[in-house]
Chains A and B, each alone.
Chain A
Amino acid sequence: MSTFERGWAVTRTPPSLDIDAMLDDPGTRIIVCCGSGGVGKTTTAAALGLRAAERGRSVVVLTVDPAKRLAQAMGLTELDNTPRRVDGCDLDGVGREGGELHAMMLDMKRTFDEIIEAHADPERARQILTNPFYQSLSSSFSGTQEYMAMEKLGQLRRSGDWDLIVVDTPPSRSALDFLDAPERLGRFLDGRLIRILMAPAKVGGRSAFKLLNAGFGMVAGILTKVLGAQVLKDIQMFVSALDAVFGGFRQRAEQTYRLLQAPGTAFLVVAAPERDAMREASYFVERLAEEGMPLAGLVVNRVHRTPAASLSAARSCAAAEDLESNGEHALTAAVLRLHARRMQLAAREEREQEHFTSVHPTVPVTRVPAMPEDVHDLAGLRQIGQLLSSNGANSVSRSA
């Protein structure tokens, strides 16, 4: 590398993310695809799973809310919370054998129910499962999906049935939700008020709980007035039953946290080359570093490219104007206008990526071009997988 190349220009070219090295390394046991809403997490997770299987690994992909047609293409027609074998993989594509691909869709409520069933005696489980507050919490608390994704990941890992687990994350607004929500749910369920509400359910509770009970009396009075007595009874029943089952949600969340910090885990941050998504990716990268979680790199998805990059937006516009003012070649002028727009878009996207890299110069990056069509079959996933591993180049020269 010349001194010139080592100058400031180089700081803007990030290291290239070597996807195949990551997939082929038997030490890679978990890949987590994170990112803000709609950037391509599910697509990336599925494409990586397929590629890893076709390179000889035994893989399970845990998807969350996949697009209908993609789910169908992967044989996921039922939401039954168990991994299904995906047919149609090319399992000796690079001369390696033993590859296998399984996929599943996360069923948040079912996963929650299973935890209850596994940890409570049948009678208690029944009480919880039929409690209206449990039903409300298990299907709509805003952190439940994230919590259950982690929970399922832990289960898959403990089963030992796969040597690689690829995890998609829920469609939250922010990538950080994946890390924050489980802790939030845990904190909530371990919270002070829960203790207050549980106090009368415990034996005696006179002297030591006096204060709590005084608090409880007031709370109960008002809640009864506003909500009605039945509601309050339901809440208390729910809280005490749940507490008996879990003995610390927070502890459980911490266990999964440690799994995520293990060296066999690789986080991939997925982003679109737009300001909001790249900013979000930046936050997330910083957060992973703080938590000691292993970052593999950044996937910039849906990058706009043009085969005619040598013609700048400015020249293209000027030429279009010329043609228009002469009143000739209207179609060429229109093509040039479109091209100028495309070049401007590409330049904007380039700036967003440069900005990220100047803040995080050591984070490896790979890019995937925007396809003209949506990705909803195995062939499309295979193509995305190839683009991911070749940093967006169309024809892959397999380098040593």
Chain B
Amino acid sequence: MGTRDAQDTDWEGVRLHVVSGKGGTGKTTVAAALALALAAGGRKVLLVEVEGRQGIAQIFDLPPLPYEERKIAVAPDGGDVYALAIDPEAAMLDYLEMFYGMKRMGKALTRIGVVDFATTIAPGLRDVLVTGKTSEAVRRRDPRTGTRVYDAVVMDAPPTGRIVRFLNVTQEIAGLARVGPIRHHADLVRGVLTSPETAVHFVTLLEEMPVQETLDGIAELRETKLPVGGIFINMVRPAGLPDAALEAAFQGRFDTAELAAGLKAAGLAERTGDAGPLAEALTKEIAEHARRVELENQERETLASVGTPRYDLPLLPDGADLAGLYELAEALRAQGAA
């Protein structure tokens, strides 16, 4: 259905992109940008959120989204992004209706708090409803043409600490429901989640803790045989200086005299004609910067050891507003993520 050649991207054949990462690293932002990137060139993509936070509405500057798939953005070169905020209660009603034809009964249950109860006491139950709804959207076909309704589904998923438990639904449910219909449903969902049609991506910053969480998360995914996707390195700042200068600054032998000469040429010397003190101060600043860059490079190497595709997303100076999202989407496309 897409007009673009899908072979160019790293995730050919993947229809469900799950985006996780440490809290606050940019999961919602990256999920939105990825949805835009995947939709580019006339495709149709669904962006889902699962934690009832209305993060998608916020980032696209929209009023709160209902439990309903609706178009929220147009991608570069045509293409549509739809969004859905999955609410576990509504998903439960869907489920009851779809499998048991019990819509009215479901509503009654919700009123007396059964759904809330069941999903609180057994978070695995809530997870299977939410992932169930998502995989239904992944598999859904147009009844007339028989083709898939969405070219891709992108999920703004729970953070790294919870992602494996969230996706490993059968495991979670198995402890609670050894047999029965919900168990059967869980097995079905697991089929989608572990297939090559799914990829679980991680968003990280070049800092110790998010990188460590990414490594732990990937190891855990591999253990549970869930498909590992790419690493999205967010908020990357340009090093700003040539390697040699950074190296010198890092080792404390940055050429301050040369800098002073440059400052003089730029008219930044003091009235006395001396640019020395300013050059000293800037040298200190650069040394700190170089140490930070060095640390970031180490984190990069650590991430490289995982052996999964990595993408850089620039730090947007004005924060991730709507224009920023398109910029990030473009960066993702340029690097082959979509």
Interface residues of A (CB under 8 A from B): 36-38, 67-69, 132-133, 135-137, 140-142, 171, 173, 188, 191-194, 196, 215, 218-219, 222-223, 225-228, 230-231, 234-235, 238, 306-308, 310-311, 315, 319-320, 322-323, 326, 328-329, 331-339, 341-342, 344, 372-374, 376
Contact = CB atoms under 8 A, between A and B. Distances in A.
A331 B265 contact: no
B267 A37 contact: no
Contacts of B241: 331, 334-335, 338
A385 B258 CA distance: 37
A188 B118 CA distance: 11
A263 B266 CA distance: 58
Given A133-B176, A331-B241, 5 more contacts: A142-B123, A193-B114, A227-B181, A231-B180, A372-B291
B261 A329 contact: yes
A191 B114 CA distance: 11
B114 A308 contact: no
A235 B119 CA distance: 12
A38 B205 CA distance: 12
B295 A226 contact: no
B304 interface: no
B282 A331 contact: no
B208 interface: yes
Nearest to A311: B278
B179 A136 contact: no
Interface of B: 22-24, 96, 100, 102, 105, 108-109, 112-114, 116-118, 120-124, 161-162, 165, 172, 175-183, 207-209, 212, 240-242, 245, 258-259, 261-263, 265-268, 278, 281-282, 284-286, 288-289, 291-292, 295, 317
Contacts of A323: 262, 265-266
Contacts of B172: 136
Contacts of A344: 317
Given A307-B281, A308-B278, A372 B295 contact: yes
A320 B266 contact: yes
Contact of B286 (A68, A238, A315, A335): A335
A226 B100 contact: yes
Nearest to A320: B266
B299 to A, nearest CB: 10
Contact of A332 (B100, B162, B179, B263): B263
Contact of B262 (A231, A311, A329): A329
Contacts of A320: 266
B240 A337 contact: yes
Contacts of A315: 268
A188 to B, nearest CB: 6
Contacts of B114: 193, 219, 222-223
Nearest to B116: A193
B212 A67 contact: yes
A67 B285 contact: no
Given A223-B114, A231-B180, A141 B123 contact: yes
A88 B100 CA distance: 64
Nearest to B109: A222
Nearest to A65: B161
